[in-house]
Amino acid sequence: MASNNGKPYINCKNVVKAYTVDDHEIVALRGIDFTMQRGEMVAIVGPSGAGKSSLLNLLGGLDTPTAGRLTVGDFNLLDLNKSKLADYRLRQIGFVWQQVGRNLLQHRSALQNVTLPMMLADVGWRQRARRARELLEAVGMTEHMHKRPPQLSGGQQQRAAIAVALANRPGLLLADEPTGALDQKSAVQVMALIADLRERYGLTILMVTHDMGMAAYADRTLTLRDGALGQDLTQDAQAMPVLEADGRIQLPAAVRSHLEKAARIAVEVRPEGVLLRPEQAAEEHTEAALQNILTGERPGNGRRRWFRRGVRQKGSGA
């Protein structure tokens, strides 16, 4: 692939993905912006339904965005027709899925699984055989290469799957919870292998995980919730927050501006860290409720409940 002169390898600009189910729309991604440099490894973490797989599917050309701009290397993914997209998937992208069974054809040996994508890409048999053996050796599967998936452990199957993903020398490896179905020991081995292959083959890697231990292998972590990416506001080394012994934390100005108007700050401990969320003041609830009473929009006991809650919280001095 041509060099990209300092341009990001992945450029995702205001990407929206909506699915239509029956009569209604589900917006899985609400304007995603991010870039990745060639050779980078990035982890995406976020709760179930956040849109992680949707994003990977778009990058892998399995699906197309509803709106926005999306380029990977020299490919503008919104410009490719069906057959060009299929070719892009075959040659530019390697996939590894969480469901071990989805990665390999069950009735073929590990070796045959690795040669298959090369057959589809019209690679000559001599080269196919050489490359498949090299890859299976790289993932530590030489002695198991003639076994079919049911004869392999979960970890061995994922290692074979990685070899399959790399068969056509893709630039980008997309891994959707590659260690999600593995025990801890196999998971660590698979992650160490992915990190190793990244160096060896100069791969760019985007990986979804629920496990912060696995995310630690990446250069950086993106958080995704409700179809939107979290924004890292602490890139400036001067502005790094420091936690003091008494629990006080000084936040950089960019972060403060998101919180200072809030009357209360909710603190939520999440697998990916600690979330500080601005919350509306009880007084504001009361004010809104009063406004509704005046305009007659919230009839009956709803009015009472709002009012009482406001008074009690005010009294508690929170």
- The residues that touch Mg ion, with contacts defined as CB under 5 A, are 53
* 53 sits near ligand ATP (criterion: CB under 6 A): yes
Name residues contacting ligand ATP, limited to 6-25 (CB under 6 A). 19, 21
Residue 285 class from Cβ within 10 Å (0-12 exposed, 13-18 middle, 19+ buried)? middle
Q: Specify the stretch interacting with ligand ATP by CB under 6 A; choose among 52-60, 126-134, 270-278, 299-307.
A: 52-60
Partners of residue 276 on adjacent β-strands: 267
Q: What is the closest distance, in whole angstroms, from the C-beta atom of residue 46 to ligand ATP in the complex?
A: 6
Q: How far apart are CA 63 and CA 20, in angstroms?
A: 13
* 51 sits near ligand ATP (criterion: CB under 6 A): yes
Q: What is the closest distance, in whole angstroms, from the C-beta atom of residue 182 to ligand ATP in the complex?
A: 16
Cα torsion angle, 208, 214, 219, 221, sign? positive
Q: Which residues of 40-57 are buried (b: 16+ CB within 10 A; e: fewer)?
A: bbbbbbbeeebbbbbbbb
* 310 sits near ligand ATP (criterion: CB under 6 A): no
Q: What is the closest distance, in whole angstroms, from the C-beta atom of residue 97 to ligand ATP in the complex?
A: 11
Q: What is the closest distance, in whole angstroms, from the C-beta atom of residue 102 to ligand ATP in the complex?
A: 13
* 49 sits near ligand ATP (criterion: CB under 6 A): yes
* 28 sits near ligand ATP (criterion: CB under 6 A): yes
Partners of residue 94 on adjacent β-strands: 173
Q: What is the closest distance, in whole angstroms, from the C-beta atom of residue 6 to ligand ATP in the complex?
A: 31
Residue among 108, 188, 190, 178 at smallest CA distance from 150: 108
For ligand ATP, which is the closer residue by CB, 51 or 61?
51
Q: What is the closest distance, in whole angstroms, from the C-beta atom of residue 212 to ligand ATP in the complex?
A: 15
Query: Residue 3's binding partner, choosing from Mg ion, ligand ATP, none, with beta-carbon cut-off 5 to 8 A by kind?
Result: none
**Chain position whose Cβ is nearest to Mg ion:** 53
Name residues contacting ligand ATP, limited to 212-231 (CB under 6 A). none
* 54 sits near ligand ATP (criterion: CB under 6 A): yes
* 52 sits near ligand ATP (criterion: CB under 6 A): yes
Residue whose pair of structure tokens reads 């080394």 in the numeric block: 237
Q: Specify the stretch interacting with ligand ATP by CB under 6 A; choose among 45-53, 243-251, 265-273, 290-298.
A: 45-53
Q: What is the closest distance, in whole angstroms, from the C-beta atom of residue 20 to ligand ATP in the complex?
A: 8
- Which residues sit at the interface with ligand ATP, rule CB under 6 A? 19, 21, 26, 28, 46, 48-54
